[in-house]
Amino acid sequence: MRILMCGDVMGRAGRDVLNDHLPELREALKLDFVLVNGENAAGGFGITGEICQALYQLGADAITLGNHAWDQRETVSYIEGDAKLIRPANYPPGTPGHGSGLFELADGRKVLVIQVMGRLFMDAIDDPFASLDALLEPYLLGATVDAILVDIHGEASSEKQALARFVDGRASLAAGTHTHVPTADHMILPGGTAFMTDIGMCGAYNSVIGMEIAPVIERFTKKMPGKRFAPVLDDGTLAALYVETDDGTGLATRVAPVRIGGILAPAMPD
């Protein structure tokens, strides 16, 4: 199976670069499944139903969220009716939406998508390790499901790495989102799970994690509320992770970063 996981879509620049390149990537890489983190897609804060539908039209098969899941008020009601929109599974019981989703491809193969959110320097929510265990328990990779993709949304690299090692051999892919900075450690873990500490963002890198620079510096230097942060609107980079899996085991056989557009050095699978 050929899989692409796109990092956090940051505002219009992120949406535009996906619009420009995701359809051609689906064709060029012969992708079977595309997962997009969309938690910053609406002006840097959350997502809307309209944006979800636009991302699906571009080629996203599922969308994950994160700590900005509820920044747009409409998401609370919209998420219940969209099974392809996945929020962190370790939110407390009763939280609207779905923490995982099982997707069937046209050829009958099945893909399980799970998202968990870290707790270090993040909201005090339920245990992501226990949540992963509970969600993985009913499935056997390569037998009852053909691929398992885990979006680890977290601030601390140590926690994201620990969560990926925790599911090594039980997932096809376990990769980090949230920091908006692509790391240089893409690899296949010893048990066969593809990993990258953070995929980075689909957004403008001439910025501070996608936001306009001056208001962020002012907030750091003056320690006072100031101009509302707003995303940089153009010159976006598409940052993603490409993974190939074995059809028999569901484990990763190949992993490579993808970067297109903007100011970062380009990267594509050979």
> Which residues are known to be catalytic?
68
Q: How far apart are CA 263 and CA 235, in angstroms?
A: 8
Instruction: List the one residue out of 152, 69, 14, 104 whose CA is nearest residue 22.
Output: 14
Which residues 6+ apart lie within 8 Å of 261 measured at CB? 17, 20, 21, 235, 236, 237, 238
Instruction: List the one residue out of 237, 208, 214, 209 whose CA is nearest residue 226.
Output: 214
Which residues 6+ apart lie within 8 Å of 28 measured at CB? none
As beta bridge partners, residue 187 has 195
**Contact status, residue 175 vs residue 241, Cβ threshold 8 Å:** yes
Please name the amino acid found at residue 163.
L
Cα-flanking dihedrals φ and ψ of residue 161, to 5°? -65, -40
Range 61-96 burial, b when 16+ CB lie within 10 A, else e: bbbbbbbbbbbbeebeebbeebebbbbbbbbeeebe
Helices (H), 79-237: 128-136, 157-166, 213-222
Which residues 6+ apart lie within 8 Å of 41 measured at CB? 9, 10, 11, 14, 15, 47, 48, 51, 55
